[in-house]
Amino acid sequence: MIQDFYNSTVAVTQESQSKNSMGGVSRSYSTRITSLLCRVTSMDIRRRSAYAESNEFGKMTLRQGLVLYCDASSTNKAIEASDRVTLGTRTFQVKGIDNPGLLDRHLRIEMLEIV
């Protein structure tokens, strides 16, 4: 493994839901991984377009998309699409997790910025 490939550190939080006193759903986030060594790159515009959203007026919105690469350890494999990743002061929603070739060498995690 090339140690210099991973040049960033992020935190990963997992979502948990509970019912509040009014019967609604409350969401909270707890720490899953405090310091994940990884590499972060920008997502290709064509791939980011697949996650485009439209509002009630039909206006399309593209959010900042990043791809995170990390080791395929058992801890990292527990990351789910409902998790959030914090990189500095920015927070991202995990959108897709891929284990290329199912070789368990690394994970490719697609994420979009939460605005």
pLDDT one-digit tens code per residue, 18-69:
888 888 998 899 999 999 999 999 888 777 777 777 667 777 676 788 999 9
For the chain, give the number of residues.
Answer: 115
Q: 38 with 69: CB under 8 angstroms?
A: yes
CA dihedral 30, 34, 66, 48 (to 10 degrees): -20
Q: Does the pLDDT of residue 4 top 80, yes or no?
A: no
d(CA 4, CA 38): 10
Q: Is 58 left (phi over 0), alpha (psi -120 to 50) or beta?
A: left
End-to-end CA distance of the chain: give it in Å, rounded.
35
Domains and CATH numbers, the chain: 3-113 (2.40.10.270)
Q: Does the pLDDT of residue 3 top 70, yes or no?
A: no
Tokens of 61: 């919105």
The pLDDT of residue 45: 76
- What b-and-e string marks burial along 57-85, b requiring 16 or more CB atoms within 10 Å of the CB? eeeeeebebbbbbbbeeeebeebeeebbb
pTM, 2 dp = 0.81
d(CA 1, CA 18): 41
User: Can you tell me whether residue 48 is helix, strand or coil?
Assistant: helix
